[in-house]
């Protein structure tokens, strides 16, 4: 995508990333609660107004996904073989999506644990992904039983959330991936018709 972006788009992406980088560094140094939007803007060398052109709130800096990530997960979805059982596709996609968050997910979890404001947040770092996944599943399985397809999707999402919610703070990201694989395996269909 970076190769097909024009100069203006590349500058916008660089600014978005600079703001996020500055914010995460400040959150790590000062804490989420103590860091202000003004401090983030100053650290990123942008105005407060520019900050809000890119992020709706300080919380959004933690949860909004990099603009290029959507292209990556859509490629992950579209790369699944057409005849592949749905559960196998969901397992590969969810595992691949979580793997792509290896650098960010532990930090987001740590920030949520440290910040009462973020802990109360209903925002999830995967909201847009799960919407796209639902669209992909329903589009791909238009001739299948809708109830079964949506049930499988919801079970796979629940397995992913269970792995995240039961991931102890002292375990590594690889341990989280092991939990995810276990949850997906245990939630999956018993037979090969998945």
Q: Cβ neighbours of residue 107 under 8 Å, at least 6 residues apart?
A: 24, 28
pTM: 0.77
What's the mean pLDDT when you consider all of the chain? 86
58/65 Cα distance (integer angstroms): 14
Between helix 146-165 and helix 173-187 the angle, nearest 10°, is: 150
191/162 Cα distance (integer angstroms): 22
pLDDT for residue 156:
95
DSSP state of 143: T
Domain with CATH 1.10.357.10 in the chain: 65-187
pLDDT for residue 193:
44
pLDDT for residue 143:
61
How much is the average pLDDT of 139-151?
Answer: 80
**pLDDT above 60 (res 2):** no
Is the CATH number 1.10.10.60 carried by domain 2-61? Answer: yes
At the fourth CATH level, which superfamily is domain 65-187? Tetracycline Repressor, domain 2 (1.10.357.10)
Strand, helix or coil for residue 106: helix
- Percentage of the chain exceeding pLDDT 70: 90
How much is the average pLDDT of 150-160?
Answer: 93
Q: What is the largest CA-CA distance in the chain?
A: 57
């Amino acid at each position: 995508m970076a190769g097909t972006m024009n100069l203006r788009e590349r500058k916008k992406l660089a600014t978005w990333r600079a703001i996020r980088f500055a914010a995460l560094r400040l959150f790590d140094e000062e804490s989420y609660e103590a860091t202000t939007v003004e401090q983030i803007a100053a650290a990123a060398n942008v105005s407060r107004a520019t900050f809000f052109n890119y992020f709706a709130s300080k919380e959004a800096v933690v949860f909004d996904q990099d603009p290029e990530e959507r292209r990556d997960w859509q490629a992950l979805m579209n790369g699944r073989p057409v005849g592949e059982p749905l559960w196998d596709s969901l397992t590969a996609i969810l595992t691949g999506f979580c793997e792509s968050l290896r650098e960010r997910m532990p930090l987001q979890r740590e920030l949520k644990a440290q910040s009462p404001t973020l802990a109360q947040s209903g925002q999830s770092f995967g909201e847009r992904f799960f919407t796209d996944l639902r669209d992909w599943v329903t589009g791909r399985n238009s001739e299948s039983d809708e109830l079964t397809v949506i049930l499988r999707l919801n079970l796979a999402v629940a397995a992913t959330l269970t792995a995240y919610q039961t991931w102890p703070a002292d375990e590594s990201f690889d341990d989280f991936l092991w939990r995810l694989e276990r949850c997906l395996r245990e939630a999956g269909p018993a037979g090969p018709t998945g």
